[in-house]
Amino acid sequence: MIILNVFFDVAQQHEAEFLKLLNNMVVESNKEDGCHLYQLWRNDHDPYSYALIEHWESQEHLTAHGKTPHWIHFNDTVNGYLKSDYDEHHYEEIPR
C-alpha cells in the first residue's frame, strides 16, 4: 500500500476554482484501478488549508494515475490557485 498526503495552501480568491478542480480529481481518481481512497479534507483551524489523502494498492497503480488526463490537468493547473506549490508526502506500509 502506498499512501500520499498532499497539502495545499489555497489563495482565498481562487478557492472556488480549486474546489472544482479537486472535486473532479476525487471523483475520477476513485474510479481508477488500485485506488482504495482519494479524499479531500479541510483543516479545522485554517479554512484555506487542505489535505488530499490517497491510498494506492501499489506503486504501479500510482504511476498509472500520474498518466491520466485528469491528473495531468490537475498538475498543470493547481499551483495557480495556491499561495505556494503543493507539498506531497509519500508513505509506504511497513511489513509486519
Regarding predicted confidence, which is higher, 27 or 94? 27
Q: What is the pLDDT of residues 45-95, one digit of tens each?
A: 999 999 999 999 999 999 999 999 999 999 999 999 999 999 999 998 888
pLDDT of residue 96: 86
Give φ, ψ of 72 to 5 degrees: -60, -45
Q: How far apart are CA 51 and CA 86, in angstroms?
A: 10
Total domains, the chain? 1
Q: How far apart are CA 39 and CA 54, in angstroms?
A: 7
Per the structure, the complete domain to which residue 57 belongs is given by 2-92
pLDDT at 15 over 90: yes
CATH number of the domain that 20 lies in?
3.30.70.100
